[in-house]
Structure formats: C-alpha cells, structure tokens
Structure 1
Amino acid sequence: MNRHFLIAQISDLHIKAGGRRSYGVVDTLGALRRVITRLNALEPRPDIVLITGDLVDFGTAEEYGTLREALLELLMPFYLVPGNHDDCEQLRQAFADHYYLPKRGRLHWTVETHPVRLIGLDSTIAGQHSGLLEPEQLEWLQTRLSEKPTRPTLVMLHHPPFPSGIGHMDRLGLVGAEALERVISRHDQVERVLCGHLHRPIQKRFGGTVACVCPGTSHQVVLDLRDEAPSRFTLEPAGYLLHMWDPTHGLVTHQAVMGEYPGPYPFFDGDELID
C-alpha cells in the first residue's frame, strides 16, 4: 500500500542562549523542545521537517549553538531557510554539515532526494526586518523550476509574498513579491509556497498555487486588522503545519496546535451515534 510522504513545517523559533526569554517573556527554547517531542511522537512520524526562518533571535553564534543542540533531537532530516532575525554567516557555520546549504553567497538551495522537490530561498536583507528578492534571485528560481517542470515542488522562504492585513507586519513585507508571483505562475508543478514571519496560520491563492504561512512555535502575532494596530504578540497556542503528499491526490495541508486538551472522545457507541 502506498504511504503518504509527510512534511512538518515549523517556523519562527526565536531561540535565545543561556535560558533567556524572548522579549523577556517567551520561553522559546522550551516551546521548541515541546514541538520536537510532539513531532517525534506523531504516528505516522513526519518524514522531514521544514523550518521557515527566524531560527534564532539576534543571530549570535551562541544562539545557533543552542538551536543546533535542540534540533538534533529531531528523529528526521530537517531543512532551514533564514529569516530577518538570522545571521546568514553564523547560520552557515553552525550547520556546515547540511550539504544543501551553499558554502558562500545567498542561502538558496534545492533538495532532490524526496518524493517532493524542495527549493529554499533567502529573502533576508542584512540588518533589516523586511525582505527582498532581487532579479538575479528570481532568475535563479526560474532556472531551477524550468529544470524539472513535472516534478512536484515546494518553494520555501521566510517572508510571505502578500499583505496579510496586519499592518505593522506588512510594513516588514517582501519587496519583489509581484515578480515572484509571475515566476511561480509559469510553473504549475509548484504545490505550495511555504512561509513564516507572520506568526499566524494564513493562506492565500498565489501564482496559481497556495501560499501557506506557518504559525510560530512559541508566541503569535496579535490578530488585529486595524490600520493603526500596534506591534504586539500573544501567548495563544503555538502550532505547526503538516503537509501530506500523495502522488494521486496531491498535497493536503493540516494545521495543528500545541497544548493538552480534553479528549479524544468517541462519536459512536457501537454503530449508534451518541445522543
């Protein structure tokens, strides 16, 4: 019997070193450890994990050391793209054994060893929180997608290529999003564009496919769609995405939330619906 290929996506880990809390409040390392424990215990277990940026909080070597130690507890391969809180050179050094990461230049990459092809994009601007895809980066993506037009593909980057309505986050958005959409629209093998940054689960039709934003592993951005909404976070339940690939039916995406809740409870008693 054919088994689904299961892909977990986590994002915006914001790991700090020395047990420090992000913004003085959030135990991001503890939150990551809880997510790792959950992913390792899932049945079926995910085949791979994709991590869509903001891996650490301030891009220091110490933070990446803490991150690496935690991620090595995963029982499956994991793949990284940087976010605006990351330092690409420190990331590259900390994960020098990750064969897919280039030794120099932008952290763009492809992975060909799974049923779904993976393409990672580096949307960061050093020292800034907004994102950018320059013409040469988009040309690189166009070339990669043209190489294998029938191969189902996931494209991942940190910054979502669309406005969310959360004003303070949209002001830190992606320059080059329209050009990215033009590239994606030429390639119908792209099953998803996977992103982070917004700390909320959000989906949008994009370039003939679906762009999915993953919730944060710890804190979430407040869902406030007023134009004047301040920049704030909340300790709503953390979450992750599970993308289930089936060659017959395509890609199905589920959102899961962290936490312990009552249940599960049965719907039926024998053959009868419980009244």
Structure 2
Amino acid sequence: MLIAQLSDPHLCAPDTLYQGLVDSNAMFEAAIERLATLDPAPDLVLLTGDVTEHAAAAEYQLARRLLAGIRQPVLAIPGNHDEREAFRAAFADRGYVPATGPLHFAVGRHGPVRVIGLDISVPGQHHGDFDAATTAWLEAALAAEPERPTLIMLHQPPIETGIGFIDTYRCFGGERLAAIIARYPAVERVLCGHVHRHMSRRFGGSLLQIAPSTTTAIALRLAPGAEPASFVESPALLLHHWRADSGVVTHHVPINPGEGPLPFF
C-alpha cells in the first residue's frame, strides 16, 4: 500500500503571497501535479495540517477545489493555522470528520493500513496538547484493532526538534502518547507536520516522521536563542510504502525533481 503525505500548504487568499514570499497556492498545485506523476500511484493521500493560513472561508473553498484534483481519497487533520469549526464545515462531506467535538478519526477502509488522525489543536494557540481526553480516545481506537498496521497523524510533533523557536509550539503531553504507542507495536509510524522540515526520530518504539511543507522551509537553526527564519528551499512530499512482509519504508519525494532521468552506469 502506497500512502502519500503532504503537509502545511498554508493556502492563502487569491493573489496573496504566503509570508510575503511565495505563492503557496501555486506551490500546492505543483505538489498535486507531482502526485499525479507517481508510478505506481498512491492509494491514499494524507494532509497533516495547516491547510490554510488564516482559516478564512475563501481559503477553505480553495482547498476544496484543489483537493478535488486528487483522484485518491484524502484524509486531513487541522493544524494551528486552521480553525476547528471552519475545518469541520469544509471537510464534512468527506465521510470521516465527526459532527461534533475534536476532529479525531480512525479510517481503515482504504486498504490494509489503518490511519488514525488526531486533532490536538488548542483554540487560539500555536502549540498542541495531547490531553487526557485524547489519550482515552486513542487508547480505545487502537484497542479496537490492536494488531492492524496503523499510521497515526497529528500536526505538531510531540518531541523537541532542537529548533528552539519551533519547540515552543510543539505538542505537549508527548510522554503520554509515547507510552500508548509502546503498547501497540502495530503502529508503524507517527506522522507530523508543523516544522516545515523533514525529520525523524524513534518514538514510543515506533518511528516519528515530520514531513516537509509544500511551501517554504523553516530555517535549520539549532543554536540556542536563534531567531526564526524561513528559506525558499526545494519543497517535497513523503511517500510511505507498506508491505506485509517488511512494514513501512518512507521515501522523500521532491516536488520539483530536477533534470532526469539520466543514464545510470
């Protein structure tokens, strides 16, 4: 089973540049076009938050229009730039968004791998919180099919990345999440966005992976007290390839692949 992961498109109002720097709308369209070139095609597409920049109605309308161009099923979770009720309204007809409460879901109808999406957003804040209620919900969801291969996605990573100005806005309560995952070895990956960089780390006995953004990259500044900054780097998506005999292998896929194919000797 092939599962593509896009993250943090930060769709803006028409004719508006994201961060005053780039056309994030056009960059997300390019990501969707890149998806269409993958052979074999993904079976499922995940979108790990910050679908919009300001959670405005026009931005969600644009999201719906662009996502309609993806021929595979799409499962999305909100990020800190989204707004829960606006997000719910925009994705209500997708068949997996709950009518009330946090936007958690567990979906297993698209193949052998189950996807669990967590809404860890804190209204009006940029950090996330894996709180007691989310802990109980996830425990019940995992216990329903404890041996089924599973991907868990949440927007803010529940770890410190070493980039201080991002770690301020991480998902708190990560130790609770890690403790649950450690009891369910069928959790193949914990998938995040938010950081606009590709990163990975062991987490709860599984592997946590942070997807790059389809728009700008957050500066890799590991020095204490470093100031936030963005770079216009090569955007990318992740492609998670699950096989029954080996689990998940993840590929970093540039959206603008460059020159090629060239001879290989």
Letter in 1 for 2:137: W
1:243 lines up with 2:234 in the alignment: no
- Per the normalisation by structure 2, the TM-score is 0.98
SS at match of 1:97: helix
Q: TM-score with structure 1 length normalisation? A: 0.94
Alpha carbons of 1:56 and 1:264: their partners in 2 closer, same or farther (altered >3 Å)?
Answer: same
Say yes or no: does 1:264 pair with 2:256. no
Which residue does 2:250 correspond to in 1? 253
Kept in 2, the 8 Å contact 1:220–1:238? The answer is yes
Question: Which range is displaced more, 222-231 or 194-203?
Answer: 222-231
Say whether 1:211 aligns with 2:178: no
Q: Which residue of 2 aligns with 1:13?
A: 9
- Secondary structure of 1:212's aligned partner: strand
Which amino acid counterpart does residue 64 of structure 2 have in structure 1? Answer: R
Q: Is the 8 A contact 1:50 1:78 kept in 2?
A: yes
User: Aligned runs of 1:51-70 on 2, under 5 Å?
Assistant: 51-70=47-66
- 1:185-240 Cα distance to aligned partner (Å, 9 max, x none): 11101000000000000000000000000000011101110111111111000011
Matched letter for residue 19 of structure 1: D
Q: How far off is 1:60 after superposition?
A: 1.0
* Higher deviation after alignment, 254-263 or 69-78: 254-263
Structure-2 separation of matches of 1:44 and 1:224:
36
Q: Deviations over 1:40-82 (max 9, x none)?
A: 1211111110000000001111110011111111111100000
Q: Which structure 2 residues correspond to residues 1-275 of structure 1 after superposition, within 5 A? A: 5-113=1-109, 114-268=111-265
Q: Distance in 2 between matches of 1:63 and 1:220?
A: 21
Q: Which runs of 5+ in 2 are unaligned?
A: none
Partner SS, residue 149 of structure 1 = coil
Q: Return the alpha-carbon distance in structure 2 between the equivalents of residues 187 and 228 of structure 1.
A: 37
Deviations 1:65-110 (A, max 9, x none): 0111111111111000000000111111111111111011000001
Measured after TM superposition, the shift of residue 267 of structure 1 is: 2.3
Distance 1:194 1:224 in 2: 22
Could you tell me which runs of 5 or more consecutive residues in structure 1 were left unpaired when the two chains were aligned: 269-275
Equivalent residue letter for 2:95? Y
Q: Structure 2 CA distance, aligned partners of 1:53 and 1:225? A: 24
The two structures, once aligned, show a CA RMSD in angstroms of 0.9
Aligned-residue offset at 1:120: 0.4
What amino acid does structure 1 have at the position aligned with 2:239? L
Query: Hey, what's the Cα distance between the residues in 2 that align with 1:60 and 1:267?
Result: 48
CA distance in 1, matches of 2:17, 2:71: 26
The structure-2 alpha-carbon separation of the partners of 1:253 and 1:260, relative to structure 1 and needing over 3 Å to count, comes to closer
- Deviations, residues 1-56 of structure 1 (Å, cap 9, x unaligned): xxxx1000010010012221111112110000000001012111111100000000
> Which residue identity does 2:32 align to in structure 1?
I
The answer as to whether partners of 1:117 and 1:154 remain within 8 angstroms in 2 is: yes
Question: In the aligned structure 2, how far is the partner of 1:95 from the partner of 1:81?
Answer: 10
Relative distance call for 1:210 and 1:260 in structure 2 (3 A) is closer
Partner Cα separation in structure 1 for residue 225 and residue 48 of structure 2: 28
1:273 alignment counterpart: none
Query: Whose radius of gyration is greater, 1 or 2?
Result: 1
Among all aligned residue pairs of Structure 1 and Structure 2, give the percentage whose two residues are the same amino acid.
42
Give the distance between the partners of 1:249 and 1:132, measured in 2 at CA. Answer: 32
